[in-house]
Structure 1
C-alpha cells in the first residue's frame, strides 16, 4: 500500500518542482484517492521517488499543511487531514446522525442517479455550467420508516472524481462526502416552500403543504464540491441553534 501511494504521486512538469509535488498530492486528496487518515509517504521516500531535494519536498508538505489538507505529527507521521464535521444549525449536517439524535432508526434509499452533463433545468436549479461533469442523485432519508427529508444533490466529478465509482448503497452521499472530500467554504440558505405534488408523494404529505428547504453549496478553495437541496416536511421539523456574541456555543 505504501508503495502504491508513492507511485500515485506523479509530477506534471509545469512550474517549480515543489509546486508540482504540492499539486500532485493535493489532487490525490481532493479527488478522494487518499481519504482522510491516509498516511502520506515520508519526506525521504518522496525525495527518492521524485528525485527531489529534501528542502523541495519539505516546502511542498508545509504548504499542504497550511492549506489544511494534511496534518503533520512529529511521532506518528503525516496523514491526510479530516474535514470538519460539526452539526450546528448552519453547519454541514450528517442526516444519519440527525436521525439518531432523535432516538429513531435511520434508513435511506437512492431513488435516482445520473452521471454526466446537467440538463438545462438542472443547470438552472443548481447554478451549474452546462459543460460541468456531475453526479445527480435523489435520495429519500427515513426515520423509523417515515420520510424524514428528501435530498437532491449534485456532486462535481472534476473535484471529487472518486464519487463516480460509488454506488452509495452503504453510505448516503452527504456522509460519504464528509468522509472523502474537503471543503473550505459553504453557502447556506433556508426558505419555506409549498410541496410540489411529486415531492409531497415521496414525503407522505399533502401537495402544497409547507416545507423547509435547506440549500447548500460547498467549495474547496475555488473548486465546487457539491450542491444540495434538502426538503423537510415543515410540520415535523424545527431547527434550533444556540449562539453568543462571538459565535456558536
Structure 2
C-alpha cells in the first residue's frame, strides 16, 4: 500500500511542478524551491522530491546546479539536440521507393543492459525492423519502448506504421540524446543488412524522454558506405 501511495504522491508533485513550468507561472531561470522545502510542503521524504526533480531534469524542464539548486531551463537549451529524422523521408530523398519489415515485436521484462534508466522488472516493447531503399536494406532498427510511459505500444500494430513515426504521434518528447559511433557488423547486423560480417557500419543510438520519464532507446545501424551525417548550425548568440 505504501508503494502505491508513494507513486501517487510522486505523480502529483511531478504534475504540479511541470504544470507551473509549462504554463509559464515559473519562468526560465526561476529557482525551484529546495528539496527540503518541497518535502515539507508535500509531507514526504526528500528522496521522493529528489526523484521528481531528477525526472524533470532528464525531461529537460529544469537544470540542477550543484550547491545552487534547481532552475527552470531556458527554451534554447534544446537547440543543441539533433533533429529526429524520418527514415522514410531519408530514403525518398534518394528518389527510391521506401518500405520496411518488422522481424521482431515482443513485450518483455526490462534487463539491466537495456539503457532505459528504469528498474528491472518493468515491461518494454522490443521491436526490430529493417528499412529498405528499393529492394536494398537501408537501415536496421532495434528499439525498446518503455511500456510504463507508453502503454499503448503493448498492443500496437507496427506493420503499417514504423515505430518511430508511431511514437511521434503518440508521445511528445521533451529531451533527446544521440550517440554516434563506428561499428563492425556482427552476425545479426550482417544478415539483416545483406553485408559481410565485420563490414564498417555507422550506428546512431537515440534515447528520448518525456515528463513521464524514459520513452525509448533505439539503435539504428547503417552500412558505412551508404550513409552520412550532416549538421547545419549557426554561431552562438
TM-score normalised by the chain length of structure 2: 0.65
What residue in structure 1 maps to residue 28 of structure 2?
none
The CA distance in 1 between the partners of 2:184 and 2:81, in whole Å, is 22
SS at match of 2:158: coil
- Shifted more, 150-159 versus 236-245: the winner is 236-245
Task: Name the CA shift for 1:65/1:173 in 2 (closer, same or farther; >3 Å).
Answer: farther
Match of 2:161 among 138, 150, 171: 171
For 1:92, the equivalent position in structure 2 comes to 84
What is the Cα deviation at residue 208 of structure 1? Answer: 0.0
> Does residue 114 of structure 1 match 2:109?
no
Cα deviation code 1:141-186 (max 9, x no counterpart): 0011210000000001110111112111110000101111111111
The total of aligned residue pairs comes to 172
The offset of 1:246, in angstroms, is: 2.9
In 2, are the aligned partners of 1:184 and 1:219 still within 8 Å (CA)?
yes
Gaps of 5+ in 1: 1-13, 27-59, 68-87
CA distance in 2 between partners of 1:65 and 1:143 (Å): 43
Residue matched to 2:115: 126
Which residue, 117, 127, 137 being the options, matches 2:127? 137
Secondary structure of the corresponding residue to residue 214 of structure 2: strand
1-side partners of 2:227 and 2:171: how far apart?
28
Asked if the contact 2:81–2:176 (Cα under 8 Å) also holds between the matched residues in 1, the reply is no
Cα distance change of structure 1 residues 197 and 89 upon mapping to structure 2, 3 Å threshold: farther
Cα distance in 1 between the residues matched to 2:114 and 2:151:
22
SS at match of 1:136: strand
Counterpart in 2 of 1:157? 147
TM-score between both structures, scaled by the size of structure 1: 0.62
2:196 maps to 1:188: no
> 1:82 — aligned with what?
none
Q: Name the counterpart of 2:231.
A: 241
SS of the equivalent of 1:206 reads: coil
Tell me if the contact between 1:134 and 1:154 (Cα under 8 Å) persists in the aligned partners.
yes
Which stretches in structure 2 are left out of the alignment for 5+ residues? Answer: 1-7, 26-79
Q: 1:90 to 1:64 in 2, by over 3 A?
A: closer
Cα deviation, residue 201, structure 1: 1.4
1:129/1:145 Cα in 2 relative to 1: closer, same or farther (>3 Å)? farther
Task: Quote how far apart the aligned CAs of 1:214 are.
Answer: 0.3
Shift of 1:130: 1.7
In structure 1, what is the Cα distance between the partners aligned to 2:236 and 2:165? Answer: 29
The Cα shift of 1:199 comes to 1.1
Q: Which runs of 4+ in 1 moved over 4 A?
A: 62-67
Q: Secondary structure at the match of 1:217?
A: strand
Worse overlay, 92-101 or 224-233: 92-101
